[in-house]
Structure 1
């Protein structure tokens, strides 16, 4: 089946004036945002460069080999996607500006964003998803513990500044954590700006605390949210969500379905399914039911404990963790053995749920019927 690079081969010669901006175009630009455009795309919203020029600068950069490496959890074809898009008629003249990136271990924040001017009277503010850093993943889990995390606050600030500077209609979106950030920013932005937002694209992003989703600003935004999840979603099943959604067929297994390159599509859109794999729905219902039973203090302790175990390896990224896996495994076991009883029990519960979803996926046991792919709430 075809992927997002194949789509550019099919549609790359057609400008947005002929075939309007769609869900797949959104996903392509969201994936491109994982690349490091520091020194290539300006932080200013007033200084733009075409995507073609940005790609040429990216390829000619002295540290090109380092820039194209996006880590263990992000597809290595991302730079190839940039070049395919940049040298197509459809994306080449898209203007790029407002590139910003922030990484603060003390604040437990990983944040990056950039804005695309698509030439169809819209700007598209894209928030980067969880990158290769372990801090980035910890911030994901903090979304179920804290009312707000640092990257959500920065996303709201970024979208506000972008809409002040670029006086046109906006789309916003992201993949993984970027989808969560786009929803948070669009939901909480000043109403005078919210009226100019046409659509919010959430591609397998984690959810929010239940009380956040139930708030009036989220309910008001829900009709504008377009959420897409692979048939076996794990990241996207975390916590609570707002708005309707579609389930996309994927060629990968388990958590690797989180990779947008694995999502099947045609020239007209994603290959949609009637519902999630039973294992995915089981994980959503079981993990969130367990997590909601914890008090706020217990949730915080669980996240702190889980990542304290990982920090015992001294690895800062998933790539480092994977590279020295056997040595790091021993350190993880050692750190785990030192935990107190309640903390150890909660980590065991979370790990058991992840193993069980893998087992249920591979055996295809029908524990729960798949829901319809279009719902108001999960």
Structure 2
């Protein structure tokens, strides 16, 4: 049960002040955000990969090959149950690249600022609530030719619960392209990978499971839960989508979705944009959280406000967000997938004409890229230009809006 009152702040403040273990203060939605945001951090080589674990323990024959006569009891136990043997969060800081003050690897670009990641990681490592959680089964996939970006990691809580964290969209055009592809294609490769990851982790280890993810990661968490066998679904306790996109209307009304909907918690900032893409079924449990900033930066979970072990909530989304949801989803429902696909392809040709691979580079590189991008835009046919202008108009109208009904009471990260 959530406690009344508590320290007000952001998730960063929460991990500094909530030190009681999960047996005293049960796992809650703010904890789910903690593990979702942790999934954005670069994964050190010391974390075993899912492929490595399956190669070593994936079958009985493979486990028998690992038998060590010097440790017969432990080896016998490992035959019956795959050992977890993860890396504890408290031990991660010594070799985590960002925590050591180095730049994050370029293979894992992220919108999360390095200074925020460093402080977050070090705080978790020193907090007894989180420090004993073990990380394992890392998986990272990045395919430019297939417009696919996927990453996931599994955390084991002290009581044996497995928390699977799906990484959201990173700072690459490839990652953003896959998000846009969701508007006309189902499933996209990352969604299939998410279900496959859950299935493989559940095959390795027993115990209850919780799924969490921010942005696209939230969508992947829900998709994975919908698309695994019933015996695995029965182990899933809760599913958290932190401002994750929704699904096509046909999916949201499917029996697969109905089987898990009572376990879904969707958290959105008061002026959400990303979380309102595609259908947002009312049967889900929705939490509208107050943010300490306006506009598109509300999407960052580090800017959401907390009150003790709960989010600081508001009754409803801003009028601009509600209008965006109605307009964007009407547009998606009334345009054939082929037209949307052509428009998305055209948009990313324009962005790629900048010569950059990351949206952040495009946003900060000044005016020098404009002529090439404009030339690409002018070269599109009239319908492609119209699609781009319609979509960008809706997004920018919501992204630049101010919600007068919310008093922002904390500074942004």
C-alpha change, 1:159 and 1:257, in structure 2 (3 Å) is same
C-alpha change, 1:142 and 1:101, in structure 2 (3 Å) is same
1:286 maps to 327
Return the index of the structure with the highest Cα Rg. 2
Which sections of structure 1, spanning at least 5 residues, go unmatched? 366-378
Contact kept in structure 2, 1:52 and 1:93, CA below 8 Å: yes
Separation in structure 2 between the aligned mates of residue 154 and residue 175 of structure 1, nearest angstrom: 16
Contact kept in structure 1, 2:44 and 2:95, CA below 8 Å: no
Contact kept in structure 2, 1:75 and 1:261, CA below 8 Å: no
CA deviations over 1:295-351 (Å, ceiling 9, x no partner): 011111111111111111121112321332312233222211111011111111112
Which sections of structure 2, spanning at least 5 residues, go unmatched? 1-7, 54-83, 406-413
Tell me the CA shift for residue 120 of structure 1. Answer: 2.4
1:98 pairs with one of 134, 137, 157: 137
Tell me the CA shift for residue 363 of structure 1. Answer: 7.8
C-alpha change, 1:49 and 1:308, in structure 2 (3 Å) is same
1:132 pairs with one of 162, 171, 196: 171
After superposition, where does 1:166-315 map in structure 2 within 5 Å? Answer: 166-242=205-281, 243-315=284-356
Secondary structure of the 2:130 match is: helix
Separation in structure 1 between the aligned mates of residue 402 and residue 30 of structure 2, nearest angstrom: 29
Secondary structure of the 2:13 match is: helix
1:327 maps to 368
Please state if 1:362 is matched with 2:402: yes
1:89 pairs with one of 121, 125, 128: 128
Separation in structure 1 between the aligned mates of residue 402 and residue 266 of structure 2, nearest angstrom: 26
Contact kept in structure 1, 2:44 and 2:96, CA below 8 Å: no
Contact kept in structure 2, 1:38 and 1:99, CA below 8 Å: no
Contact kept in structure 1, 2:40 and 2:168, CA below 8 Å: yes
Tell me the CA shift for residue 362 of structure 1. Answer: 3.2
CA deviations over 1:137-195 (Å, ceiling 9, x no partner): 11011111112111011101100011111100000110000000000000111011000
Tell me the CA shift for residue 68 of structure 1. Answer: 9.9
Secondary structure of the 1:202 match is: strand
Separation in structure 1 between the aligned mates of residue 355 and residue 219 of structure 2, nearest angstrom: 28
Secondary structure of the 2:238 match is: strand
TM-score by length of 1: 0.91
C-alpha change, 1:256 and 1:60, in structure 2 (3 Å) is closer
Q: Please provide the CA RMSD for this pair.
A: 2.0
Please state if 1:2 is matched with 2:9: yes
Separation in structure 2 between the aligned mates of residue 121 and residue 74 of structure 1, nearest angstrom: 29
C-alpha change, 1:237 and 1:49, in structure 2 (3 Å) is same
2:103 maps to 65
Tell me the CA shift for residue 107 of structure 1. Answer: 1.0
Aligned length: 363
Tell me the CA shift for residue 70 of structure 1. Answer: 7.0
